[in-house]
């Protein structure tokens, strides 16, 4: 019995000595370690939007659209009840074209709109008349710092604001 107690005591002392002799490489805290990180990452939020007919747009925007509808690009207008953005493909010689909103995001204070400019399929029968494919969206709680991108194919292209 004394032998067992001696063995247990020896093992305990040996284990204590080994643990006490190990070193840790924990650095001393510095003032920089206690500062909060300023690298917070990019915040991207999906934005709720409504596609509206041009007839529901504010009169000021409708007037601008009428003057510039043959130009490819976009117009942004802050109305009483939100931000309106008109996005146009420009003048086309036939029907069958359209502009489709894929998504709208708020990205660090920028309102980013992704659209697809759809063209008629090969061999499709289209109206033989001048057309002005476009879409108008209304959003609330967004900035007027608008960027529009065409994501029709793999090569994403920025659509310029109409001057």
Mean per-residue pLDDT, 38-57:
85
Mean per-residue pLDDT, 132-138:
97
Higher pLDDT, 163 or 139: 139
How confident is the model at residue 32, as a pLDDT? 47
Assess contact for 117 and 99: CB atoms under 8 A.
yes
Mean per-residue pLDDT, 51-68:
95
Assess contact for 72 and 152: CB atoms under 8 A.
no
Higher pLDDT, 23 or 40: 40
Q: Is the pLDDT of residue 53 over 80?
A: yes
What is residue 141's three-state secondary structure?
coil
How confident is the model at residue 132, as a pLDDT? 97
The mean pLDDT value of the chain amounts to 83
Please report which confidence band the pLDDT of residue 154 belongs to, taking 50, 70 and 90 as the band edges: confident
Please report which confidence band the pLDDT of residue 7 belongs to, taking 50, 70 and 90 as the band edges: low
Which residues lie across from 149 on neighbouring strands?
Answer: 114, 158
Task: Give dist(CA 142, CA 109) in Å, integer.
Answer: 8
Higher pLDDT, 163 or 112: 112
Q: Please work out, in degrees rounded to the nearest 5, the angle formed at the alpha carbon of residue 134 by the alpha carbons of 133 and 137.
A: 160
Q: Is the pLDDT of residue 24 over 50?
A: no
């Amino acid at each position: 019995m004394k032998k067992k107690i001696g063995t247990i005591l020896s093992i305990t002392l040996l284990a204590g000595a080994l643990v006490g002799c190990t070193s840790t490489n924990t650095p001393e805290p510095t003032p920089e370690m206690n500062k909060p990180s300023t690298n917070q990452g990019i915040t991207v939020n999906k934005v709720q939007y409504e596609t509206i007919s041009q007839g529901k747009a504010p009169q000021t925007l409708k007037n601008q659209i009428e003057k510039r509808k043959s130009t490819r690009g976009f117009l942004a207008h802050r109305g009483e009840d939100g931000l309106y953005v008109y996005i146009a493909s420009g003048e086309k010689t036939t029907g069958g074209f359209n502009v489709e909103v894929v998504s709208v995001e708020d990205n660090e204070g920028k309102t980013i709109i992704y659209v697809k400019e759809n063209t008629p399929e090969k061999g499709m029968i289209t109206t033989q008349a001048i057309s002005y494919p476009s879409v108008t969206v209304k959003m609330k709680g967004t900035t007027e710092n608008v960027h529009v991108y065409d994501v029709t194919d793999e090569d994403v292209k920025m659509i310029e604001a109409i001057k």
